[in-house]
């Protein structure tokens, strides 16, 4: 007997913060609530990488990847907050040329 693995899953809509033009980022799947495992608790703190070009409808920003972390769940919507910024590997390689050194730094910023 073949059991469909998606029968025990629920689909949630991932929403970006209000300061982005596009609010609907996509969908994510989570196991349904069973016993002590609550579906909304399993969703919290998930990190969703999204291209900035998709969020701003601007193809010039295609090399930036925004990380959004799910903070709250309301009904079937997962609300996110900014978590990090990353450059694509091809953009990083174009910035670093031969015979030059790359200086990496981590900075804690308070907002």
Rounded Cα gap, residues 45 and 68, in angstroms: 9
At 5-56, the pLDDT tens digits run 888 899 999 999 998 889 999 999 999 888 888 888 889 999 999 999 999 9
Q: What is the pLDDT of residue 92?
A: 85
Beta strands in the chain (DSSP E): 9-15, 24-31, 47-51, 64-74, 77-87
pLDDT at residue 49, rounded to an integer: 95
Q: Is the whole-model pTM more than 0.75?
A: yes
Give pLDDT tens digits for 59-99.
998 999 999 999 999 989 999 999 999 999 988 888 877 77
Q: Which residues contact 17 (CB under 8 A, 6 or more apart)?
A: 68, 80, 81, 82
């Amino acid at each position: 007997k073949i059991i469909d693995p998606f029968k025990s899953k629920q689909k949630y809509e991932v929403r970006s913060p209000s300061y982005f033009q596009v609010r609907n980022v996509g969908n994510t799947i989570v196991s349904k609530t069973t016993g002590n495992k609550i579906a909304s608790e399993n969703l919290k703190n998930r990190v969703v990488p999204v291209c900035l070009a998709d969020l701003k409808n601007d193809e010039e920003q295609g090399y930036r990847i925004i990380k959004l972390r799910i903070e709250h769940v309301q009904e079937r919507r997962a609300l996110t907050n900014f978590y990090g910024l990353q450059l694509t590997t091809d953009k990083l390689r174009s910035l670093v040329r031969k015979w030059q050194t790359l200086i990496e730094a981590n900075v804690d910023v308070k907002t």
